Chain A
Amino acid sequence: MSPRRRLLLVLVVLSAALLVAAAGALFVGSASISPSAVVAAVTGRAAPESVERVVTLAIRLPRIAVAALAGGALAVAGVGFQALTRNPLAEPSILGISAGAAFGVVIGQSLGLGLTLAEAVGLTGFAFAGAVLAAAAVYLIAAAGPGLSIQTLLLAGVIVGIFFSAAITVLISLMDFNRLGGVVHWLLGNLAPVPPGALALFALLAAIGFWLVVSHARALNLLALGEEAAIQLGVGAQRLKLTIFAGAALLTASVVAFAGPIGFVGLIVPHALRMLLGADNRLLVPTSFVGGAIFLLLADTVARNVVAPAELSVGVITSFCGAPFFIYLLRTRYRANL
């Protein structure tokens, strides 16, 4: 089968699965609303101020959208960072870039920024700056030695992550007590309904980040040959690396700003798809977006129902899945390199 057909086939199957997962998520939740009432709300037949309408359309639906966008964005960021660093275990949270973005967001929050459209722009700006700062730190630490080995990069990422977590703790300690609950809630990686304006901004940023990565997917494959060999095939390697870095950092920053630092999605989803599709980034980038959306949507549905009426953070679920998966990858596939 040609790669084009494989891509289309997998995309169709995954998109169908995403629709099913989204529809499923619409019907379950801590508020007990009958399936027929959900249908009525979605089709616009429920009363304007009725509970089922508010819960379905103003709480569950936006949350589903945030989950799908965040999952897709994180998975694509993972593919981008993995290709960029030629390190299969790279991922926004493992590289400390999520923590950097979170530091930026906490600064924004302590300045009083929320999720109205204008404030959300500021918040993502802070997140992006934090992500770039963390990535630069990781790069400078890891590149100090000869070559960029898998271990050095991961260790640098972990160290930078710890540093920014500590910096976040400082900010939180100084924060106004009333604001604390919300910040901590967000920091655990919690999906909450985002207002429509901010949601549109999130979608736009995710689309830009996705486009930056997917439009360079073919050149990104060549980077696996090594930078010099890629240049000898006509790739403008410096520009490519900057573009992918900007795209992946933008995706990470927007997720952190709107949904919090959620870990491991960028590791689990691309690797699961690699087992199915191989290493070709042209297949991995688009399918990872849909696959990431499905994964985070399922994880969030579990998170908000498993201890209902209380809620778990979705970040807890992804970490519970991701940490063992990371160990599995470390012990099996990349053993020889460590």
Chain B
Amino acid sequence: MLAEFRRVSFAYPATGRPKRPFTLSELSFGIERGEIVGVIGPNSAGKTTLTRLLTRVIEPAGGEIFLDGAPLRGIERRQLARCVAVVPQGAPAQFPFTVGELVLMGRYPHGPGRYFESPRDRDVACEAMAATGVLELAELPLDDLSGGERQRAIIAKALAQEPRLLVLDEPTAHLDLRYQAEVAALMRRLNHERGMTILLVSHDLNLAAEVCDRLLLLAGGRAAAMGAPEAVLEQSLLASVFGCEVIVDKSEAGRPVVRLAWRVPSSDDARLSRGR
């Protein structure tokens, strides 16, 4: 088991962050080596909280997280950054660096004492940029790139960390269809060619169904279901978790495809029309 959550609980403090009331309560799940695991669920189900816990931006209130069998709280930050790399939700606004400079930032945990990166750091960064197809953009400012190119540059930065677990938080949000397909293909390729273990956090059920080996469905900070996409993406379960009617079909690859029935439950319907 590469990473494991054992009965992990977390709550944002009631004061200070009043708009983030969601919590995780006694969540247990694991990620095996070489797997692509998807975390799905409604807004504020605790998806991003999970990635923040995994990178020790926040510490669990209860339970324990393990990385390679060792408790996470005993792992030093830089060492953790060499094991777990995060592609965060949304890129930084107003980022004045070039793509090459950004990707080299991923080398920081491998030698924070160095003023400039070593030749090996440069090689790893070039290789990471080649892997995501942004090598020829290396000299350009990140702000000049299209949305899809930016996302691939940020994924290259994460790869430059040479992580064993790659965490992608909403990697296709705000991206056109083509870039969504690109990101999905890239994830599959990294997984097949490098055996990269990937944790995908996404509200896009179909992306998750298409690329993931297993899915964790979060609802209200608890695991509503965990298992193969076919088992988790089940019509009545989704309807109860998301509070709306869905239709589940099969894709060409035999994966579940979730469609919205564009109907809200009748009680809500009544409430909406009364509001009007």
Contact = CB atoms under 8 A, between A and B. Distances in A.
B96 A278 contact: yes
19 contacts: A219-B112, A221-B105, A224-B97, A225-B105, A229-B88, A231-B77, A232-B81, A233-B105, A233-B108, A233-B161, A234-B77, A235-B77, A235-B108, A278-B97, A278-B101, A279-B96, A279-B97, A282-B116, A337-B94
A2 interface: yes
Given A3-B116, A4-B116, A280-B101, A234 B81 contact: yes
Nearest to A225: B92
Contacts of A231: 55-57, 77
A324 interface: no
A176 interface: no
Given A4-B116, A225-B95, A236-B77, 9 more contacts: A86-B94, A221-B105, A225-B92, A225-B105, A232-B84, A233-B106, A234-B82, A235-B77, A280-B97
Given A233-B161, A280-B97, A228 B81 contact: no
Contacts of A274: 96
Chain A: interface size category: 20 to 34
A234 B97 contact: no
A5 B109 CA distance: 23
A4 B88 CA distance: 30
B74 to A, nearest CB: 15
A222 interface: yes
B77 A282 contact: no
B225 interface: no
Chain B: interface size category: 20 to 34
Given A232-B81, A233-B161, A234-B78, A222 B55 contact: no
B80 interface: yes
B92 A228 contact: no
Contact of A232 (B86, B97, B98): B86
Interface in B92-138: 92-98, 101, 105-106, 108-109, 112, 114-116
Given A228-B57, A234-B78, A282-B115, A222 B108 contact: yes
A273 to B, nearest CB: 13
A181 interface: no
B52 interface: yes
B110 to A, nearest CB: 9
A332 to B, nearest CB: 14
Interface in A68-117: 86, 88
A278 B92 CA distance: 17
A222 B115 contact: no
A246 interface: no
Contacts of A3: 116
A226 B93 CA distance: 9
Contacts of B86: 229, 232
Nearest to B97: A279
Contact of A233 (B79, B98, B109, B115): B109
A2 B97 contact: no
Contact of A221 (B77, B97, B161): B97
Nearest to B82: A234
A279 B57 contact: no
Nearest to A2: B116
A226 B157 CA distance: 14
Nearest to B111: A218
Contacts of A86: 94
A217 interface: yes
Given A225-B92, A229-B92, A231-B77, A279 B108 contact: no
Contacts of B57: 228, 231-232
A44 to B, nearest CB: 39
Contacts of A221: 97, 101, 105
Contacts of B112: 218-219, 234-235
Contacts of B109: 233-234
Contact of B98 (A219, A235, A236, A278): A278
Interface in A212-265: 217-219, 221-222, 224-226, 228-229, 231-236
A224 B157 CA distance: 14
- Rank and list the top 8 A-B pairs by shortest CB-CB distance, nearest first: A234-B78, A234-B81, A279-B96, A234-B109, A232-B55, A234-B77, A232-B86, A279-B97
Contact of A219 (B52, B106, B108): B108
A218 B97 contact: no
A132 to B, nearest CB: 24
A234 B79 CA distance: 8
A280 B98 CA distance: 9
